[in-house]
Homo-oligomer: A and B are copies of this chain.
Amino acid sequence: MTLLADLLSTVFERRYRQPARKGQDNRPIEELACDLVGSAGETSGLALAADILSGFENLSDDKKLVFFQYLATAMNIDPESVRNTLDDYERNPSKSSYRAFLTAAEPRRQELIRRLNRVPRATGALVRMRADLLRMVKTDSELAALDLDFRHLFASWFNRGFLVLRPINWESPAHILEKIIAYESVHAIDSWDDLRRRLQPTDRRCFAFFHPSMPDEPLIFVEVALTKGIPSSIQTLLAEDRTATPEDEADTAVFYSISNCQAGLASISFGNSLIKQVASDLSAELSGLKTFVTLSPIPTLTRWLQANDAASDINNPDESKAVAAHYLLNAKGHAGLPYDPVARFHLGNGAIVHAVHADADVSNKGREQSNGTMVNYLYDLPKVAQNHEKFATTKEVAASAEVRALANSSPVSQP
């Protein structure tokens, strides 16, 4: 593998400093895009693609919208052509009739995006392009269709098999670490010293997924604390003055923060793979680890309580816990799935609701979103697959007996 390691570093260092071409093509970007899809050869295509990508980054939002609308309409499928090639193929199924159908049934903008991706560093530019698109897509159904095309291609390119898991630690490059600071979205990192406290102690770990074509950009990362026993407070877990647990004394790995880094990769899911891969790696490295658990926020509890006029029914921490348990088990949103997005994520991964804690996040954010309660989702590795299957089939929320009992004692009982 060393070859690969070496090769990538060599190539990136050398190649990507040099512009691939001289002289920008200054025609409107739509015209360039049209040319690129028509271009037979790679030679002129690369220059065109580079011009489109760098041109796009410099456009105003208005112009970007025009470009997206162009892709959405002028490069959409042509229904007549789909029907005709489909008829041909049905009458006479052959390699060439099938090829004609495939070509007609795929909007030309997919081929455009693939051709744009030939340029070095293009993948990151396309991810940023989709981030722009997502800002603009809202209710515009034509742009929503365009977004589906991006998503279709990204799902193929950011396939799990192409991702690389990488530990992030105090020996990682500063330009990666500053992105960890910027992208942390659960419990903010407020300085380099704070970052060091999350990375350097023997009982802290961090892992991120990378894609070989975007080596400077983490896609998603998870922060892990190694503990003795399951923690019940994020402030205690992250206290500046705590004593680090020696890694061979830890029995529990706590996933206390998971952050997606790329707005442009929304709906391309990595979190599931990340948690399982990290749990499996840690388990292999530290044989003392027996429990894999999260310490998670309950981000929409307050909102749900308010929507149900139940926020005022809670009088003490015990009731707070019980209500949270009830909410996690019973509050449903779209399609009968849990109302809480974090619950949806972990239950969908095959975890179960293991324990609920009051006064577990006493920050303003914690108080506001869930009255300070937090939850441990448990990843019981041998059972994760079957939990996942069951949840996918029945949408039933799996929970420990303790949590189920707690939920039954809730003063709030709206479904």
Contacts and interface: CB of A to CB of B under 8 A. Distances in A.
B215 A4 contact: yes
A38 to B, nearest CB: 11
A117 B161 contact: yes
Contact of A82 (B15, B86, B215): B86
Contacts of A83: 83, 86
A232 interface: no
B42 A272 contact: yes
Given A47-B385, A105-B82, A392 B40 contact: yes
A82 B89 CA distance: 12
Contacts of A144: 94-95, 98
Interface string A152-171: 11011101111011110011
Interface residues of A, number: 96
Given A105-B106, A118-B161, A174-B172, A2 B2 contact: yes
23 contacts: A1-B12, A2-B6, A2-B9, A3-B171, A3-B176, A3-B210, A3-B216, A4-B9, A4-B164, A6-B9, A7-B210, A8-B8, A8-B164, A42-B272, A47-B385, A77-B101, A94-B141, A95-B145, A117-B159, A157-B157, A170-B175, A172-B174, A192-B192
Given A7-B166, A192-B192, 13 more contacts: A1-B171, A5-B6, A6-B9, A8-B164, A43-B388, A82-B82, A93-B142, A93-B145, A102-B152, A161-B213, A162-B212, A173-B174, A174-B177
Interface of A: 1-15, 18, 40-44, 46-47, 77, 79, 82-83, 86, 89-90, 93-95, 98-99, 101-102, 105-106, 114, 117-123, 141-142, 144-145, 147-149, 152-153, 155-157, 159-162, 164-167, 170-177, 192, 196, 210, 212-213, 215-216, 269, 272-273, 276, 281, 284, 348-350, 384-385, 388-389, 392
